[in-house]
Amino acid sequence: MDKVIVVGGGLAGLRAVETLRGNGHEGALTLVSAERHPPYDRPPLSKAVLAGETDDTTVDADWDELRCELLLGERATGLRLEPVGGVVTSTAGDLPFDGLVIATGATPITLPGDGRQHVLRTIDDSRDLRSRLVPGARIVIVGAGWIGAEVATAAAKRGCSVTVVEAADTPLAAAIGAEVGAYTAPWYAEAGVELRTGVKVAEVRDGGLVLAGGARIDADEVVVGVGVRPELSWLEGSGLLLERGVVTDGSFRAYAGTEEPGSVRRDVVAVGDCASWWSARYGRRLLVEHWDVALNAPEVAAASLLGQDAVYDAVPYFWSEQFGRMVQYAGSHAAAERIVHRGDPSGRKWAVAWLSGDRLDAILTVDRPRDLVQARRLIAAGTPVDPAAIADPDVPVRQAVRG
C-alpha cells in the first residue's frame, strides 16, 4: 500500500495515523482536516475548557516521526472510487489513494430560526461560549442530555442564570431511559438551574426561544445540545453504503452499494463518530459517538486496512461530569429485561444495572467508579451474575457472580 489518506482530524484520525505506522505502513500518509487546529481531545470542551481550567487540549503527537503530511483547514468535498483505491477531492486538490480512512466525525444538529445559537463541537466553539458565560447572563440550553447537563454545570458555576429546556419528560431519556433519567432531575435544582421538561422549541430568535404554542423564553445566549449527525455529505454519490453513518463490517471495512460480503471494500475503512459498525456481541449495528471508541477502534481499522485480521467488539463505554458527579455507563441496555437498583438514587452514590435473566447487559454508576470497572469486565466476559447480589451496594460487583 503506497499512499493512505486519513480524512478527519479528530482523535480517531490521529489514532489511525499512529496505528498505521505502528502496524508497519511505510508508504505515504496524509491527514486531511477541516479544522485549522492539530488533533485535540473533545471531552474537555464541555468540562475543563468551558470552566476556564484549560485552553488547549491538543493531543501530543510527533508528526515528523509519524512522517505524516498534515493538511489542516482543508475539507474533503467528494470521493471517487476505483476498483482499487480512488481519489479524495478536496479544497487542497485531488488526493489519490490506495488506502482510505474515513474519520470525519459528526456535525451538531441546529434548530430552526435566525437567532444566534451556540453548539459545542470544536475548541473554537468552546472558547467562544466560555467568553459569554459571565455572571448574570441568561443562558438557555436546549437539550438535557450529556452535553446540556455539562454546559449547565459550567454556566451555573460561572454565575449565570441557567434554564434547560428538554422536549422529553426527563433528562437523558434517549440515552438511559426515562426511569433512570428521572433520577438526575433533582441535580438541576440543587445547582440552581431551572429544568423545564416536556417543552418543545419552535425556533431560535434574537433574544431567546419561541416555544411550540408561541410562548417565549428570553435569553442572552442560546446553547443547542440536541444531538449530532455523522458528517457524510462529502460521500454522497461515492457508491459507499450510508445509513446513519458509513456502514461497515466488524473490522470497519466499508461496503459499496449493498451489505453483501462481496461488496466490502478492503481499501476503505471508517471509524469514530461516522462509522456504523457491526457488533457480533449485540447482533446489530452500533454507532457510538464517544471518546472511548475514537481512542481504541482505530487500532482495528488500521489493521484491517493493512490486510490483517482484526475485529472490534468492545463493550461501549462513556462518562459525563455533571453537577459535581461522575456518571459512567458501560454496555447496552436496549434489549434488557429489567432494571436493578444498586443503592438509593436519591443518595450521593448509586448505580443501576440492566439485566436479562442472569446476564448483565449494562450499568450506570454515579460516583461508584469501582462498580463500573468491575461490571464492564463481567459484561465483556458474559459472566452470569446473581441479581440479588448486584442489588446489594455493599457486595463488590466482581463478587456478584453466579456460583
Element of type H or E holding 388: helix 387-390
Average pLDDT over residues 329-345: 95
Q: What is the pLDDT of residue 374?
A: 98
Per-residue pLDDT tens digits for 54-64: 999 999 999 99
Q: Domain 3-107+229-305 classified CATH 3.50.50.60?
A: yes
| CATH 3.50.50.60 domain span(s) along the chain | 3-107+229-305, 110-224
Average pLDDT over residues 378-401: 96
| CATH 3.30.390.30 domain span(s) along the chain | 324-399
Q: What is the pLDDT of residue 197?
A: 98
Average pLDDT over residues 214-230: 97
Q: How many Cα atoms are found within 13 Å in the side-chain-facing hemisphere of 22?
A: 12
Q: What is the pLDDT of residue 265?
A: 96
Per-residue pLDDT tens digits for 138-191: 999 999 999 999 999 999 999 999 999 999 999 999 999 999 999 999 999 999
Q: What is the pLDDT of residue 403?
A: 72
Q: What is the pLDDT of residue 258?
A: 85
Q: What is the pLDDT of residue 402?
A: 86
Three-state secondary structure of 273-338: HHEEEEECCCCEEECCCCHHHHHHHHHHHHHHHCCCCCCCCCCCEEEEEECCEEEEEEECCCCCCE
Class of domain 324-399: alpha beta
Q: What is the mean pLDDT of the chain?
A: 96
110-224 fold: FAD/NAD(P)-binding domain (3.50.50)
Q: What is the pLDDT of residue 127?
A: 97
Q: Is the pLDDT of residue 132 over 80?
A: yes
User: Cβ distance 221 to 140 under 8 Å?
Assistant: yes
Residue carrying C-alpha cell 473533545: 42
Whole-model pTM? 0.95
Exposed / middle / buried, residue 10 (Cβ in 10 Å: 0-12, 13-18, 19+): buried
In whole angstroms, give the CA distance from residue 316 to residue 324.
23
